[in-house]
A and B are shown apart, each in its own frame.
Chain A
Amino acid sequence: MIDRHDRVFLARGLTKRYPMGEIEVHALRGVDLELFTGEFVVLLGPSGSGKSTLLNILGGLDSPSSGAIQYGGRDLSVYDDAELTRYRREHVGFVFQFYNLIPSLTARENVALVTEIARDPLAPEQALTLVGLADRLDHFPAQLSGGEQQRVAIARAVAKRPEVLLCDEPTGALDVQTGVRVLGVIERINRELGTTTVVITHNAAIAAMADRVIHLSDGLIARIDHNARRQAPDEIVW
């Protein structure tokens, strides 16, 4: 169960604007949020609602235009580039919608890319075994299916044993069966390693897996739902 005192993130009044081509995008308009250790949170909302921007700020990929974001009591919004880099290096694992594997590196090497700069990582083989790819170690991304590529990406994200696992539409590019399998891997990691996990989706069905579901709309939190019971991924229907 969630211990309210183990707060991982605390966000207050987050806003974010950025230019996109010739127009300016107002991605976040004042978000207040708390996330707790070991929690499985789903960020739900239509595209353009600010989910990715919020996730990027949580992960130290981006800084808010205004407002404060604390991680473990430290204020990320004042971190400079080098400090944010260290924060990501030591604490955060990312999974992206399009996997973002390095095409010129094998599965094992993609994971090694991260374990080489981590303090106490899993062995790449161990991480890939965790996601069920022990037999695909030396395959290049182009030789793997979408689901397999995403599982390599998950292995790469968790191999450094991060405190936080941030997933941006991890099943967005996958078919249902494969998506369920990938979600299963994420859920298992959350459960077994106790990694605080945030998953972005615009698929409401996935929300049933979460402890909490945060609904975003037009750069603001519309509402937060608490699930009494987390559904197992294979129970999900969409």
Chain B
Amino acid sequence: MKALDRKLWREIWQLKGQAAAIMLVIVCGVATHVMFGATLDALGQTRARYYREYRFADVFATLKRAPESLRERIAAIPGVAEVETRVVAEVHLDVAGFAEPITGRLVSIPDNREPRLNRLYLRQGRLTAVDRDDEVIVSEAFAQAHRLAPGAKLRVVINGRRQTLTIVGTALSPEYIYQLRPGSMFPDYQRYGVFWMGRRALGVAYGMEGAFNNVVVGLSDARAPAVIDELDRLLTPYGGLGAHDREDQPSHHFMSEEFRNIALSATLFPVLFLGVAVFLLNVVVSRLIGMQREQIGTLKAFGYRSGEIALHYLKLVLVIVLAGVIIGIFIGAGLGRRLAELYTTFFRFPFLDYRPALPLVLGATLLNLGGAVAGTVFALRAAFTLRPAEAMRPEPPARYRATVVERFGLQQLLSQPNRMILRHIERRPLKSLLSVLGIALACGITMAGRFQEATVTHMVEVHYKLSQREDLAVTFTEPTSWGAIGSLQNLPGVERVEVYRAAPVRLRFQHRTWRTMLKGVPPGGDLQRLLDADLRPLAPPSDGVLLTDYLGELLGVRAGDRLIVEVLEGDRPVREVPVAGLVKEYLGVAGYMDLAGLNRLLREGPAISGAYLAVDNRDRPELYRRLGDTPRIAGTAIREQEIRSFHRTMEQTMLFFTFIATVFAVIIAFGVIYNSARIALTERGRELASLRVLGFTRAEISYILLGELGLLTLIAIPLGFVVGRGICTLFVNGARSELYRIPLIIHPSTYAFAATVVLASALLSGWLVRRKLDRLDLIAVLKTRD
């Protein structure tokens, strides 16, 4: 090994505390990069393979009822490679020992062959037999939630008829990777399931013999819009509800949104960490070069080239960064597996292709090495340009001056130690500022990892307590007359009934379109309320439509604009409707009208799609039983359970992120503060030792050194609140989708937590440096030359 490289290794060893602190920050950055990147790759690749091997369809359509003969005409549409017609039924079911209503979706599978599209991955058991009409396959998530295995029985109400089915298998489908009750935001595997039955058996049970009400299509090439148009034309006479591609397929869509969020985190956080690491490297290398002026001068005197010397210090940077990168890759790969597995509790894949790929690892390595080199170039330049003769002369005394406070004539207020602290901070304003920023960033990252908890609570409050206030929501299998209100009111325990009509529509404004539901609600509703921007109830307009605020943004409309509404069911009328205003909603998007107004727009009589109920808790069991027996009711949602699944879903992921963000923030805060303290100690050791010789106590000199850091930390905390708000804003804005918008609400406890994390890190660094101060060798320090 060359002598210069030996010097390198020994100096890294001497700097081990600081080098380790920087390395840890790099580890955090690389680990988040690899963790999110690998999770994203794994989920993306797993989904792609699953779709490919299990033939996920490209176009989907629901209709009322069409004869099987239509299949041929669909297959003849140019670009269509595969067609699978199906019977899909929304059903009620009972599982022994579970009192609450369970709804599910029954999907037919061909009787004597594998489905051509959306094939099942059988986890247990077998497919249904051709000659049996009482066999069913259940989705794995549902089976697990109820501990059901092949052989168990299910009591199902299909089309008003109670039937007992035997489970023959459990399965997964690419169509239901994210398995949600329609209209729900979060999975609830106990109260909603997907089931598969043979086509003939389900056709008989549902009155769909020789007919279908759902069709999925595989494309030979990517011409989905043309195929969708043609399919809509074919299906309209049969009550088609509008075909759509994968983008509007709920499971696929939800996953894509989540992938987008992961990608956001995969960029945002590594960049923040890299910024901190570069700053620390810069400070440490600058100081090292400053301290080794004479050594650099000596090397140059003996004929070492500037480039060789700069390279020597660059190697030091590279060793620290590379060590951090390697450790970070391993930790990130490990965390990524945990995260990907966490996601598979929501995204039900039959397998998980988790393999952090070379491009990801190389990308993280190059990003960090490149960033570190670019960030320390300025510091390295000092080694490069230092002229040897200058280097041999002692550094000129540092230039201090009276601080702002003193220039204002307030010096009487400051003791000598306080003056030293302030002058030192003011002498290097940029360095002090960067230290403050680094600590502030740690504070901000802690907040980003934690703020969602309070936000989610607020979302739940607004959505479920101010807006959706019902106890139960029921949906009808098809639009029903207002007369149904009476029969709902007569059910046991029902205290209040509020109905609504919902119809699928395509909204068009200028060149922008959006597929959503248009909901008609009666005026004066108490269970379902529309809220304005200040969360005050808003009456549905008799003329015009209210849009979710986010939908208004997507379409670029404001109150007063005229919107084209294309209804996607029934006679499919197309109308122009004025936008009456926007409503505040955090979950989902929709359009709202007055109920009677919507009935008119749909050219129908008084019809409703579902109802919201307020019920007396004592009568719930009986009510659930009666609802389960009502054939017209396709689904029942219990608000309380919705809130619970919401919390459950959020908690699982959030706990993971809060933990990781907190650990990482501690590392950053510690890295910044410890490095600043160590550098201050090397820069000022002589000064402090002189003070000790003059009779200052250890506590007094510690105050001078650590007081500066304490002051910087105190300045950094409020700034950190601002930075944290900024990061949260970036995150909240990046995560906005039509599925949900996280409001920017930061609870006081989040601020308190972040401040505590930063202060604790500062105290730890202070304590470590204080230990060094206590061992300051007075004679040795005074002997060394500056």
- For window 104-120 of A, CB contacts with B under 8 Å fall at 104-105, 109-110, 112-114, 116-118
B299 to A61, Cβ gap below 8 A?
A: no
A113 to B302, Cβ gap below 8 A?
A: yes
B10 to A105, Cβ gap below 8 A?
A: yes
A residues near B389, Cβ cutoff 8 Å: 53, 56, 61-62
A62 to B388, Cβ gap below 8 A?
A: yes
A88 to B10, Cβ gap below 8 A?
A: no
B residues near A117, Cβ cutoff 8 Å: 302-304
Given contacts A113-B3, A113-B302, contact A100 B297 (CB under 8 A): yes
- For window 51-74 of A, CB contacts with B under 8 Å fall at 52-53, 56, 59, 61-62
- For window 2-18 of B, CB contacts with A under 8 Å fall at 2-4, 6-7, 10-11, 14
Residue A228 lies at the interface, judged by CB distance under 8 Å to chain B: no
Query: Nearest chain-B residue to A103 (Cβ)?
Result: B295
Residue B392 lies at the interface, judged by CB distance under 8 Å to chain A: yes
A89 to B387, Cβ gap below 8 A?
A: no
- Inter-chain CA distance A117–B10, complex, in Å, is 21
Residue A1 lies at the interface, judged by CB distance under 8 Å to chain B: no
Given contacts A81-B306, A117-B304, contact A100 B295 (CB under 8 A): yes
A residues near B2, Cβ cutoff 8 Å: 116
Nearest Cβ in chain B — how far from A171, in angstroms?
A: 17
- Inter-chain CA distance A144–B558, complex, in Å, is 83
Contact of B295 among A53, A81, A102 (CB under 8 A): A102
B residues near A81, Cβ cutoff 8 Å: 306
Given contacts A96-B392, A104-B11, contact A85 B303 (CB under 8 A): yes
- For window 21-56 of A, CB contacts with B under 8 Å fall at 21-22, 52-53, 56
Residue B294 lies at the interface, judged by CB distance under 8 Å to chain A: yes
- Inter-chain CA distance A182–B281, complex, in Å, is 41
B303 to A20, Cβ gap below 8 A?
A: no
Given contacts A100-B294, A100-B297, contact A56 B392 (CB under 8 A): yes
Nearest Cβ in chain B — how far from A179, in angstroms?
A: 19
A residues near B387, Cβ cutoff 8 Å: 61-62
Residue B113 lies at the interface, judged by CB distance under 8 Å to chain A: no
B306 to A116, Cβ gap below 8 A?
A: no
How many B residues, CB 8 Å from partner? Answer: 30
Residue A94 lies at the interface, judged by CB distance under 8 Å to chain B: yes
Contact of B3 among A59, A86, A116, A118 (CB under 8 A): A116
A residues near B390, Cβ cutoff 8 Å: 18, 62
B residues near A104, Cβ cutoff 8 Å: 6-7, 10-11, 14
Contact of A114 among B6, B7, B295, B302 (CB under 8 A): B302
Nearest Cβ in chain A — how far from B29, in angstroms?
A: 29
A88 to B302, Cβ gap below 8 A?
A: yes
- Inter-chain CA distance A81–B392, complex, in Å, is 17
Residue B396 lies at the interface, judged by CB distance under 8 Å to chain A: yes
Query: Nearest chain-A residue to B388 (Cβ)?
Result: A61
Contact of A105 among B3, B305, B388, B396 (CB under 8 A): B3
How many A residues, CB 8 Å from partner? Answer: 37
Contact of A94 among B6, B14, B302, B304 (CB under 8 A): B302
Nearest Cβ in chain A — how far from B212, in angstroms?
A: 81
A88 to B301, Cβ gap below 8 A?
A: yes
- Inter-chain CA distance A227–B54, complex, in Å, is 101
Nearest Cβ in chain B — how far from A125, in angstroms?
A: 14
Residue from B14, B298, B306 with most neighbouring chain A CB atoms (10 Å): B298
Given contacts A61-B392, A105-B6, contact A85 B298 (CB under 8 A): no
Contact pattern, A 79-102, Cβ under 8 Å of B = 1, otherwise 0: 001100111111011101010101
B11 to A21, Cβ gap below 8 A?
A: no
Query: Nearest chain-B residue to A18 (Cβ)?
Result: B390
Residue from A52, A56, A93 with most neighbouring chain B CB atoms (10 Å): A56
B residues near A110, Cβ cutoff 8 Å: 3
A100 to B298, Cβ gap below 8 A?
A: yes
- Inter-chain CA distance A98–B103, complex, in Å, is 87
- Inter-chain CA distance A179–B297, complex, in Å, is 24
A residues near B303, Cβ cutoff 8 Å: 85-90, 92, 114, 117-118
- Inter-chain CA distance A92–B305, complex, in Å, is 15
B298 to A102, Cβ gap below 8 A?
A: yes
Residue B397 lies at the interface, judged by CB distance under 8 Å to chain A: yes
Query: Nearest chain-A residue to B2 (Cβ)?
Result: A116
- Inter-chain CA distance A175–B10, complex, in Å, is 31
Given contacts A21-B396, A61-B388, A62-B388, contact A113 B4 (CB under 8 A): yes
Nearest Cβ in chain A — how far from B601, in angstroms?
A: 82
A112 to B306, Cβ gap below 8 A?
A: no
Query: Nearest chain-A residue to B780 (Cβ)?
Result: A142
- Inter-chain CA distance A114–B395, complex, in Å, is 25
Residue B678 lies at the interface, judged by CB distance under 8 Å to chain A: no
Query: Nearest chain-B residue to A57 (Cβ)?
Result: B389
Residue B300 lies at the interface, judged by CB distance under 8 Å to chain A: yes
Nearest Cβ in chain B — how far from A198, in angstroms?
A: 14
- Inter-chain CA distance A20–B392, complex, in Å, is 13
Residue B785 lies at the interface, judged by CB distance under 8 Å to chain A: yes
B residues near A61, Cβ cutoff 8 Å: 297, 300-301, 387-389, 392
B residues near A85, Cβ cutoff 8 Å: 300, 303-306
- Inter-chain CA distance A117–B302, complex, in Å, is 9
B residues near A112, Cβ cutoff 8 Å: 3
Query: Nearest chain-B residue to A21 (Cβ)?
Result: B396
A residues near B396, Cβ cutoff 8 Å: 20-21
B residues near A86, Cβ cutoff 8 Å: 303
Nearest Cβ in chain B — how far from A232, in angstroms?
A: 29
B residues near A22, Cβ cutoff 8 Å: 399
- Inter-chain CA distance A177–B392, complex, in Å, is 26
- Inter-chain CA distance A206–B433, complex, in Å, is 53
Nearest Cβ in chain B — how far from A202, in angstroms?
A: 17
- For window 261-317 of B, CB contacts with A under 8 Å fall at 294-295, 297-306
Query: Nearest chain-B residue to A104 (Cβ)?
Result: B10
- For window 373-421 of B, CB contacts with A under 8 Å fall at 387-390, 392-393, 396-397, 399
B302 to A109, Cβ gap below 8 A?
A: no
B residues near A109, Cβ cutoff 8 Å: 3, 6-7
Contacts A21-B397, A62-B389 known; 7 new A-B pairs at CB < 8 A: A61-B301, A61-B387, A90-B303, A100-B295, A104-B6, A104-B11, A114-B302
- What are 30 A-B pairs at a CB distance below 8 A? A20-B393, A21-B396, A56-B392, A61-B297, A61-B389, A62-B388, A62-B389, A62-B390, A85-B303, A87-B303, A88-B303, A89-B302, A90-B303, A92-B301, A92-B303, A100-B294, A100-B297, A104-B6, A104-B7, A104-B11, A105-B3, A105-B7, A109-B3, A109-B6, A112-B3, A113-B302, A116-B3, A116-B4, A117-B303, A118-B303
- 7 shortest interchain CB distances as A-B pairs: A89-B303, A62-B389, A21-B396, A104-B10, A113-B3, A100-B298, A61-B389
Interface residues of B (CB under 8 A from A): 2-4, 6-7, 10-11, 14, 294-295, 297-306, 387-390, 392-393, 396-397, 399, 785
